[in-house]
């Protein structure tokens, strides 16, 4: 492998301006080195190895990448391991890097800034490594791919031309694959965009200012301007449980039977937007009444950017000693005239646990009336609300696990909700519907 890398370093600049597939340099980059790396990886079917020196015109920065197919199959997107050659061929880097092209698609002019912040996060979590956390220098200029690789780099090691060995490359590659595997294991989604959004979840510059948010929301809710002149809803604060009643629960419970999910999703989205509009307005009015006009203008609409934040609106509160604190508001809106059940995501529950007393649920209901009702609940969601599991994440168990359970069955019976049962241990004497 060392000989192949060195051959590319020695000959690349003299191979002309085109990516000539008949040249030995091309063959070493595209075929020989990737094949030798695959031999080292043995049975790692989840890893793809690919080399490139450009398509048509020769690339200024050739590379050989190792990608986990569950994360990405292209160097334009995702997290991957990559050998990157310097522009002047004075050496090459082995790096953990990210696809800068996708950052450009997602964040436009903020691409370098956002890629660097994600890289900073990964670096901060990686410990006990021989790899350097310093920047790489490929000789890139702002706007070209080399510069993007520099900004998206996470960790790296450098091999000067003529001063590296097969043993060194193999040792470093083994360590970096271990780090890569550890990071990928923590991804709960194959969509790397979600990973990026979660890492950048506290970046305020991606949030929309309140006044701009209200215009956007109103355009969605009433695109044709059909609402009557002077029409204006205003939230009415009530005490929790004041409209809570278990009677007629069949009427207020989630609807069963055939559902038109397309119509429901549109209706739910508009209901949610209306609730967020009302809360933004209410927060601005509240802060203005407290004499905090400066902070009223800083209220931000967060959920427009992503649901990964775990809350919808960022606002402010004043503590008894006069300190101003940021608060993070999740809006739960329904059209029911009483305070019925509403859905909460796992991400929202976890965010409330992280933010504790700065996390606030605005419970808005009867939203279609002229005076929708609401109350607020600060703190962890699980401390303020009863949480009933109504949906589950499922994954296939495999035959060996299913066989074990068949031989050793148990039933856990839910007495308050008999329609729910779970398999557990040693309860064969119970029966279930």
* Token digits of residue 226: 């059909």
For residues 271-280, give the mean pLDDT: 90
Map residue 81 onto helix, strand or coil: strand
Whether residue 264 has pLDDT greater than 80: no
> What does the pLDDT look like over 298-324, one tens digit per residue?
998 887 666 677 899 999 999 889 899
Map residue 374 onto helix, strand or coil: strand
Angle (CA) 348-350-356 rounded to 5° is: 95
pLDDT band per the 50, 70, 90 thresholds, residue 42 = confident
| Whether the Cβ atoms of residue 371 and residue 236 lie closer than 8 Å to each other | yes
Spatial distance between the Cα atoms of 99 and 53, rounded to a whole number of angstroms? 16
Average per-residue pLDDT for the chain = 83
pLDDT score, position 432:
34
Map residue 121 onto helix, strand or coil: helix
* Token digits of residue 358: 């700065």
pLDDT score, position 404:
53
CATH 3.30.920.90 residue spans of the chain: 2-199
pLDDT score, position 231:
53
| Diameter of the chain measured on Cα atoms | 83
pLDDT band per the 50, 70, 90 thresholds, residue 420 = very low
Whether residue 243 has pLDDT greater than 50: yes
pTM over 0.75: no
Place of tokens 């063959």: 27
For residues 197-223, give the mean pLDDT: 69
pLDDT score, position 187:
85
pLDDT score, position 83:
98
Long-range CB contacts for residues 119-122, cutoff 8 Å, separation at least 24: 119/151, 119/152, 119/153, 119/154, 121/199, 122/79, 122/96, 122/154, 122/155, 122/183
Map residue 155 onto helix, strand or coil: strand
pLDDT score, position 397:
74
Whether residue 98 has pLDDT greater than 50: yes
Most confident region among 81-85, 137-141, 248-252, 344-348 by mean pLDDT:
81-85
Spatial distance between the Cα atoms of 249 and 270, rounded to a whole number of angstroms? 25
* Token digits of residue 185: 């294991």
300-309: burial string, b at 16+ Cβ within 10 Å, e else: bbbbbbbebb
> What does the pLDDT look like over 366-411, one tens digit per residue?
988 888 999 999 999 999 999 988 777 777 776 655 555 555 444 4
What is the chain's percent helix, strand, coil content, to nearest 5?
Answer: 40, 20, 45
pLDDT score, position 338:
87
Phi–psi pair at 204, nearest 5 degrees: -70, -25
**CATH entry 3.40.50.300 includes domain 2-199:** no
pLDDT score, position 103:
94
> What does the pLDDT look like over 51-96, one tens digit per residue?
999 988 999 999 999 999 999 999 999 999 999 999 999 999 999 9
* Token digits of residue 162: 């003529």
């Amino acid at each position: 492998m060392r000989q192949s890398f060195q051959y590319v370093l020695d000959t690349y600049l003299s191979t002309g301006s085109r990516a000539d597939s008949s040249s030995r340099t091309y063959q070493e980059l595209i075929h020989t080195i990737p094949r030798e790396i695959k031999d080292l990886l043995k049975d790692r079917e989840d890893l793809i190895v690919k080399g490139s020196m450009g398509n048509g015109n020769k690339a200024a920065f050739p590379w050989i990448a190792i990608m986990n197919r569950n994360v990405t199959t292209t160097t334009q997107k995702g997290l991957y391991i990559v050998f990157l050659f310097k522009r002047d061929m004075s050496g090459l880097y082995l790096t953990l890097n990210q696809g800068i092209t996708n950052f450009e698609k997602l964040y436009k002019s903020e691409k370098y800034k956002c890629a660097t912040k994600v890289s900073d996060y990964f670096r901060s979590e990686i410990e006990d490594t021989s790899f350097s956390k310093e920047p790489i220098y490929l000789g890139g200029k702002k706007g070209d791919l080399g510069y993007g690789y520099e900004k998206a780099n996470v960790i790296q090691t450098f091999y000067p031309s003529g001063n590296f060995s097969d043993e060194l490359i193999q040792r470093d590659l083994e360590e970096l694959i271990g780090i890569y595997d550890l990071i990928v294991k923590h991804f709960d989604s194959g969509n790397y965009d979600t990973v990026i959004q979660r890492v950048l979840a506290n970046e305020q510059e991606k949030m929309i200012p309140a006044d701009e948010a209200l215009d956007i929301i109103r355009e969605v809710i009433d695109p044709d301007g059909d609402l009557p002149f002077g029409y204006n809803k205003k939230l009415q604060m009530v005490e929790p449980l004041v409209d809570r009643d278990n009677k007629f629960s069949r009427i207020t419970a989630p609807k069963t039977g055939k559902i038109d999910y397309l119509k429901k999703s549109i209706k739910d989205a508009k209901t949610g937007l209306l609730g967020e509009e009302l809360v933004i307005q209410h927060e601005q009015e509240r802060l203005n009444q407290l004499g905090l006009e400066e902070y009223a203008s800083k209220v931000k609409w967060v959920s427009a950017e992503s649901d990964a934040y775990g809350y919808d609106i960022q606002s402010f509160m004043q503590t008894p000693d006069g300190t101003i604190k940021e608060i993070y508001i999740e809006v739960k809106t329904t059209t029911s005239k009483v305070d019925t059940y509403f859905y909460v995501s796992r991400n929202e529950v976890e965010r409330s646990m992280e933010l504790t007393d700065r996390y606030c649920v605005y419970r808005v209901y009867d939203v279609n009336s002229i005076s929708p009702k609401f109350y607020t609940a600060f703190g962890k969601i699980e401390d303020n609300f009863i949480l009933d599991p109504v949906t589950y994440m499922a994954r296939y168990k495999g035959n060996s696990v299913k066989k074990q359970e068949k031989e050793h069955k148990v039933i856990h019976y839910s007495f308050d909700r008999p329609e729910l049962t779970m398999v557990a241990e040693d309860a064969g004497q119970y029966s279930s519907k």
